[in-house]
A and B are shown apart, each in its own frame.
Chain A
Amino acid sequence: ILNVEQSPQSLHVQEGDSTNFTCSFPSSNFYALHWYRWETAKSPEALFVMTLNGDEKKKGRISATLNTKEGYSYLYIKGSQPEDSATYLCALINAGGTSYGKLTFGQGTILTVHP
């Protein structure tokens, strides 16, 4: 089983605070690392798909970095807003072997932004 670990498990911040979460993984044998946002009563939606070491993505106030050599990815939210409250999921797709194409998720980080 590919172990994808996310930290922290949950996070409470005040509106306007900037915050970041971590996704760590033991292997670089994967096609891509995904970040998803999962809001209550909705389906998970993709934020970023990252494929290269040193890859950086940005969408508005949210950005992500990937370091495959060290085995981690960071997701940053600048100036958090209450509507950013959600569970943030990290996932990896296996690149080879018998688990080719397997999409494995971490446990998620639950973010709550207080007004």
Chain B
Amino acid sequence: DGGITQSPKYLFRKEGQNVTLSCEQNLNHDAMYWYRQDPGQGLRLIYYSQIVNDFQKGDIAEGYSVSREKKESFPLTVTSAQKNPTAFYLCASSWQQNTEAFFGQGTRLTVV
């Protein structure tokens, strides 16, 4: 089945540790996105990538890093510089600019 997969679903980390969230798609989509959702807020864009080996900062990129070495993969690293990392993270992908985005199931990260 084609789709977009995020893992793990729940993640716990100690404060000060870097953590990497996985996002893999087998839809042959060029564009991939990472969003963060906090309680009572909408989806805020962290990073996005239109093509392999290229990515751009979104609206809240500070404290995060990404890579796009393969078309199907767009991992997000939450670094220790991110002041409030506890949140729900959603990954999405789309084929072209005027086509719909498909979303993964999300990863809920809790930093203690």
Asked if A103 contacts B103 (CB within 8 A), the reply is no
Report the nearest B residue to A93, measured CB to CB.
B97
Whether, in the assembled complex, A20 has its beta carbon less than 8 Å from a beta carbon of chain B, the answer is no
From the candidates A49, A91, A106, name the one contacting B99 in the complex (CB within 8 A). A49
Report the nearest B residue to A90, measured CB to CB.
B42
Chain A contacts for B42, CB-based, 8 A: 89, 105-108
A99 to B50, CA, bound (A): 11
Chain B contacts for A104, CB-based, 8 A: 45, 59
Chain B contacts for A101, CB-based, 8 A: 31, 48, 50, 56, 97
With contacts A43-B90, A105-B35 taken as known, whether A51 is within 8 angstroms of B45 at the C-beta atoms is no
Chain A contacts for B90, CB-based, 8 A: 43-44
Q: How many residues of B contact A (CB 8 A)?
A: 26
Asked if A43 contacts B98 (CB within 8 A), the reply is no
**B positions within 8 Å CB-CB of A:** 31, 33, 35, 41-45, 48, 50, 56, 58-59, 90, 92, 94, 97-106
Query: Which residue, B31, B97, B105, has most C-beta atoms of chain A within 10 A?
Result: B97
A44 to B100, CA, bound (A): 11
Report the nearest B residue to A31, measured CB to CB.
B97
Asked if B50 contacts A103 (CB within 8 A), the reply is no
From the candidates A49, A95, A106, name the one contacting B100 in the complex (CB within 8 A). A49
A98 to B90, CA, bound (A): 23
